[in-house]
Amino acid sequence: MCFSCSQLSKLQEVSLRSCAVNGAGDRGGIAAACPNIRSIDLSKNLLSSWDEVVAIADQLRRLEVLNLSENKLTFPSGSPPPSGTFSALKELVLNRTGITWAQVLCCASGWPVLEKLYLESNNIIISERPVDVLQTVKLLDLSSNQLIDENQLFLIAHLPRLEQLILSDIGISSIHFPDAGIGCKTSMFPSLQYLVLNDNQISHWSVISELDKLPSLHALSCARNPLTEGGRDAQTTRQLIIARVGQLRTLNKCAVEPEERRGAELDYRKAFGAEWKAAGGHQDPGRDRPSADFLAAHPRYQLLCRKYGAPEDGELKTQQPFRLKNQLLTLKIKCPNELDQEVVEKPLPESMTIQKVKGFLSRLLKVPVAQLLLSYESPKMPGREIELENDQQSLQFYSVENGDCLLVRW
Those residues whose C-beta lies under 8 Å from the C-beta of residue 332, and which sit 6 or more positions away, are: 343, 344, 345, 403, 404, 405, 406
Q: What would the mean pLDDT of 311-324 be, rounded to a whole number?
A: 60
Burial of 109 (0-12, 13-18, 19+ CB in 10 A): middle
Structure confidence by residue, pLDDT tens digits, 215-263: 999 999 999 999 988 666 788 899 999 999 999 999 999 999 998 999 8
Greater confidence (177 vs 328) lies with 177
Q: Residue 291: pLDDT band by 50, 70, 90 thresholds?
A: very high
Greater confidence (87 vs 381) lies with 87
Average pLDDT of the chain is 91
DSSP string, 29-80: HHHHH-TT--EEE--SS---BHHHHHHHHTT-TT--EEE-TT---B--SSPP
Q: Residue 393: pLDDT band by 50, 70, 90 thresholds?
A: confident
pLDDT value at 53 more than 80: yes
pLDDT value at 173 more than 90: yes
Greater confidence (29 vs 119) lies with 119
How much is the pLDDT for 240? 95
pLDDT value at 316 more than 90: no
How much is the pLDDT for 382? 82
How much is the pLDDT for 312? 85
Which residue segments constitute the domains of the chain, with CATH numbers given? 260-318 (no CATH), 325-409 (3.10.20.90)
Long-range contacts of 131-137 (CB under 8 A, 24+ apart): 133/105, 133/108, 133/109, 134/104, 134/105, 134/108, 134/159, 135/159, 135/160, 135/161, 136/112, 136/161, 137/161, 137/162
- Rounded to whole angstroms, the Cα distance separating 97 from 291 reads 51
Percent of the chain with pLDDT over 70: 95
How much is the pLDDT for 325? 44
CB 184 within 8 A of CB 213: yes
pLDDT value at 321 more than 50: no
Structure confidence by residue, pLDDT tens digits, 358-382: 999 998 899 999 899 999 998 877 8
How much is the pLDDT for 39? 97
Q: What is the separation of C-alpha 394 from the centre of its chain, rounded to a whole number of angstroms?
A: 29
